Structure 1
């Protein structure tokens, strides 16, 4: 996955967000249920702002005491 462009305006589907964050799609769904991620569209398949996904991943990593992203 390429992280080029403006991450404020880039949106990802659930599988794309999971790949970028280095987690499974189930984790993206958990983040959504827990209010850590909010889809930017309300109809059809959810899409998430790239920057929001990366912030959610970093916050989760920090809470878990990891200093680097999962491979």
Structure 2
């Protein structure tokens, strides 16, 4: 009989809204979302000549699409 491997522990830090949820290095720039969106719910980000759309969903999640 083949047994299944034990389940991997879940990453419980992802999705938390607390400021310390992500342990980031102090040299990584931090940008407030409001400075990108300007009070709106979406923004276009240019990267290497390509346009990406960053938007906030109705459930207050972020989606980045090309």
Q: Compute the TM-score of the two structures, normalised by the length of structure 1.
A: 0.24
Question: Higher relative contact order at CA 8 Å, sep ≥6: structure 1 or structure 2?
Answer: 1
Structure with the larger strand share: 2
Q: Compute the TM-score of the two structures, normalised by the length of structure 2.
A: 0.25
Structure with the larger helix share: 1
Q: Which has the larger radius of gyration?
A: 2
